[in-house]
Amino acid sequence: MASNACHILEAALERMDDIIAGKSSGFFTHYLKNTTASLVIAAPMALQHTEALKALLEGWGSEREQESVRKQVSTDTADVILRWLKRGEVNASSSANGESYQQRLSRLEGDKESLILQVSVLTDQVEAQGAKISDLKSSLVEHQQKLRSAGEMLQQEFLHRTSLESQKLSLMGEVSYLKLKLSDMEGKQGYGAERQHKAENIIKELRTLKEKVEHLEDQKLQYEKKLKATKVNRLSASGDSGESERSISTSSRHFLPYFADTDYSRLRRTQSGGFQSADPEAAPFKRGGLRATAGPRLTRTPEASASSRDMSVPFSQWTKEQVCGWLEDFGLGQYVNLTRQWVESGQTLLSATPQDLEKEMRMRNPLHRKKLQLALRAFSTKTVEKSSELDYIWVARWLDDIGLPQYKDQFHEARVDGRMIQYLTVNDLLSLKVTSQLHHLSIKCAIHVLHANKFNPNCLRRRPGEERNPSPSEVVQWSNHRVMEWLRSADLAEFAPNLRGSGVHGGLIILEPRFSSETLALLLNIPPQKTLLRRHLATAFSALVGAQAAQEKREYANATGHVPLTTTAKVKPKKLGFTQFSHLRKRKQDDSLDYICPMDTGAVAVNGGSPPPSAALKGLSPPRQADQQEDEVETGAQTGSKH
């Protein structure tokens, strides 16, 4: 009974599933047309069987019996019943919502139409966005082209600016070189104007003197004519009267030339110095003639100097006029008047003390006294030093070469010459207002180079030569201007003008162990943040000084107690305590300890430290012929008197 009910229920559910699911449209159509009656009969039967199954299941009391019957039901049958019951729940919910299939279909169609409308709107938006994207792509391509063109223009501008900067640096170098030439020419022009003015004054004096001499000659002729007429008129007179007339004529003849010579010698004793007796307009201009150079030796020729004093005669036997003429040639002409009143012969100066010079000649400048005493000592010892051939005008040129032109006025005022340079002390420099430690070292190294070259006036090189890799022995002879030319060749022309007045020259670079690339960068005013420039300068500096000097500088810098060289360090005079006054005379007897550069250059230590690099002093090349010619043209007859 139960199994039959189950089979009937299973069949009914399968048929209901087919009807609901619509598996076969043909079967559903056939079923709708032909089996409407059977469907009406089968549906109540299925309901009845379901009710019967329900009653049967409720009638079983024990769960074991229900479990045994459930196990006998096939799996397919149970699945069909379960699916049918679930579909019934869906249909119940649909019917509960009151929505039929037609309503759902109409709702879905409305949703479809709205979706179609949304799709069309979205399609239009997508097309519009696609058009915008294409426009943006075209504008992007255009901007990329503009960016590339701007980059090319920027690169061209950068190259153009680089070329302009290089041209600017070269032009700045040329301008600095032209400024140096202009200053040199202005100095020459000033000297020339001064010489011309003094020569014109001398020419005027000579013309005035010539007129006076001619006037005296005319008076002499008139007196002679009168005497001759007197002789003719008195031929009949006595012999005594004739003898008296002859004596009168003789005395007149002697009197008039003496008057002319007295006036002539009075003019010669003026501050203008000696002059030539010949007509200056008739004589051609020549070096050493009517004072082609500036100084107190105006119109004094070498012939006149040689005739006024014989150099073979000892200085102690010189006359007063010879001594005064020598003082004028020596650059101390301002003391001639007082010297003429005090000095009887050269021996007076040889035996004079510094106190006598200050009292009798009023020579209060200690450097003037030192200059005179050094010259007198050379006369006493009869020693001829090469430095004595360099006068104070050459010293002014030498200060330009070593980069210290700011001290030219002080040196010129003190009449510092080559011999004083050789015996220069620290106190002398302080009295010349040279207080910078760096400038003291610059002068010291420059004097060292002069010693090594035996005080050759043309030993410093001012212009670059043909050398490509100069050795330290050549660099040590570079002037300040030559160092500036090296900076321009090392692509540092922008900072080269900063070396003017710094005292940097080749001797300081090579001989001073404390002078390094850092010191040079400090003098060139290269900012510390420009590390690439400072590194480039250090590389060029090491290649310039050579491996040996660079190693010595590094060792000196790494030594204990090393004090780096700065531009602000000052040199102060040594203060003597009360216990040191007893040793003052002993110190004065040995002045070589205070010299800026002692006489023995081979054994001297640079700045009291390590000895100078050997490569800098061995094989010092002779001065170039071009430099010698340039010095001969510019200095001319500017060397002082030789004794």
Whether the predicted model's global pTM rises above the 0.75 cut: no
CA distance 256 to 258: 5
With bands split at pLDDT 50, 70 and 90, how would you rate the model's confidence at 236?
low
Does residue 175 sit in the same domain as residue 244?
yes
- The answer to whether residue 109 sits within a structural domain is no
Which one of 90, 107, 127 terminates a domain?
A: 90
Q: What is the mean pLDDT of residues 521-550?
A: 92
Shared domain for 339 and 454, answered yes or no, is no
For residues 336 and 296, the answer to whether their CB atoms sit within 8 Å is: no
Mean pLDDT for the stretch of residues 20-48: 55
Overall average pLDDT of the 85-109 stretch: 68
What are 142-157's pLDDT values in tens digits? 999 999 999 999 999 9
For residue 365, is it within any domain?
A: yes
Domain identity same for 86 and 125: no
Residues 6+ apart with CB under 8 A from 276: 283, 289, 290, 299, 301, 304
What is the distance between the terminal CA atoms of the chain, rounded to a whole angstrom?
166
Alpha-carbon separation of residue 461 from 399, 626, 628 (angstroms) = 14, 10, 10
460-487 residue pLDDT tens = 998 887 777 888 989 999 999 999 999 9
Q: Torsion angle of alpha carbons 199, 204, 207, 211, nearest 10°?
A: -160
Same domain, 23 and 134: no
- Please tell me whether residues 439 and 400 are part of one structural domain: no
| CATH code of residue 314 | 1.10.150.50
Assess whether 168 and 244 both reside in one domain.
yes
> Which of 582, 586, 617, 583 minimizes the C-alpha distance to 600?
617
User: CA-CA distance, 75 to 78, in Å (whole number)?
Assistant: 5
**3-class secondary structure, 618:** coil
560 and 614 housed in the same domain: yes
Query: Distance between CA 421 and CA 395 in Å, rounded?
Result: 8
Pairwise CA distance, residues 256 & 264, whole Å: 12
Is the residue at 291 inside a domain? no
Give the other-Cβ count within 10 Å of 213's Cβ. Answer: 15
- Is 459 in the same domain as 417? no
Residue 282 maps to a domain: no
Does residue 232 lie in a domain region?
Answer: yes
**pLDDT value of residue 145:** 94
Tokens representing residue 426 in the block: 């620290």
Q: Identify the top-confidence range among 8-12, 66-70, 114-118.
A: 114-118
Cα(421)–Cα(443) distance, rounded to whole angstroms? 9
Look at residues 544, 546, 548 and name the one whose alpha carbon lies nearest to residue 556.
548
What tens digit of pLDDT does each residue of 312-361 get?
A: 788 888 999 999 999 998 889 899 999 999 999 889 999 999 999 999 99
Please compute the mean of the pLDDT values over residues 589-611 and round it to a whole number: 51
Two tokens, residue 46: 């299925």
Q: Are residues 313 and 228 in the same domain?
A: no
d(CA 212, CA 206): 10
CB 413 within 8 A of CB 403: no
Backbone phi, then psi, for 603, in 5-degree steps?
A: -105, 0
> Looking at the domain assignment, is residue 100 inside a domain?
no
Alpha-carbon distance of 508 to 514, in angstroms, equals 10
The candidate with the shortest Cα–Cα distance to 12, out of 37, 48, 57, is 48
473 closest CA partner among 616, 337, 260: 616
DSSP state for residue 316 in the 8-state scheme: G
- N residues, the chain: 643
Helices and strands, number each (H, E), in the chain: 26, 0
Which of 489-498, 572-581, 605-614 is the least confident region?
605-614
The reported pLDDT for the residue numbered 284 is: 41
- pLDDT tens, position by position, 51-64: 777 777 777 667 77
What does the alpha-carbon distance between residue 52 and residue 507 come to, in Å, rounded to a whole number? 134
Considering the domain architecture, whether residues 407 and 554 belong to the same structural domain is answered as no
Of 268, 284, 317, which residue sits at a domain end? 268
Per residue in 189-207, pLDDT (tens digit) is 877 788 888 888 899 889 8
Segment among 270-274, 298-302, 365-369 with least mean pLDDT: 270-274
Residues 6+ apart with CB under 8 A from 53: 2, 5, 6, 9
The two structure tokens encoding residue 632: 């001969």
Beta bridge pairs of residue 436? 570
In a domain, 97, yes or no: no
Please say if the pLDDT value at position 238 is more than 60: no
Residue 367: pLDDT band (50, 70, 90) is: very high
CA atoms of 483 and 505, how far apart (whole Å): 6
**Of 313, 287, 282, 320, the residue nearest 301 (C-alpha):** 287
Domains in the chain: how many in total? 4
Alpha helices in 234-344 (DSSP H): 239-268, 302-308, 320-329, 336-342
pLDDT tens digits for range 239-262: 444 444 444 344 434 333 433 444
Nearest to 101 by CA among 86, 85, 90: 90
Same domain for 314 and 189: no
Per the CB < 8 A criterion, the answer to whether 541 and 515 are in contact is no
C-alpha to C-alpha distances, 526 to 172, 210, 486, 517, 634, nearest whole angstrom = 17, 65, 16, 11, 35
- How far apart (Å, rounded) are the C-alpha atoms in residues 596 and 445? 9
Side-chain-facing half-sphere of 576: CA atoms under 13 Å = 9
Is 442 in the same domain as 501?
A: yes
Residues whose CB falls within 8 Å of the CB of residue 345, separated by 6 or more in sequence, listed in order: 316, 317, 318, 319, 320, 323
pLDDT at 437 over 70: yes
Structural domain of 132 = 119-268
Confidence of residue 368 (pLDDT cuts 50, 70, 90): very high
- 287 assigned to some structural domain: no
610/208 Cα distance (integer angstroms) = 66
Chain-wide mean pLDDT for the chain? 75
**Pick from 374, 405, 429: which residue ends a domain?**
429
Instruction: Please say whether the dihedral angle defined by the alpha carbons of residues 206, 209, 214 and 215, taken in this order, is positive or negative.
Output: positive
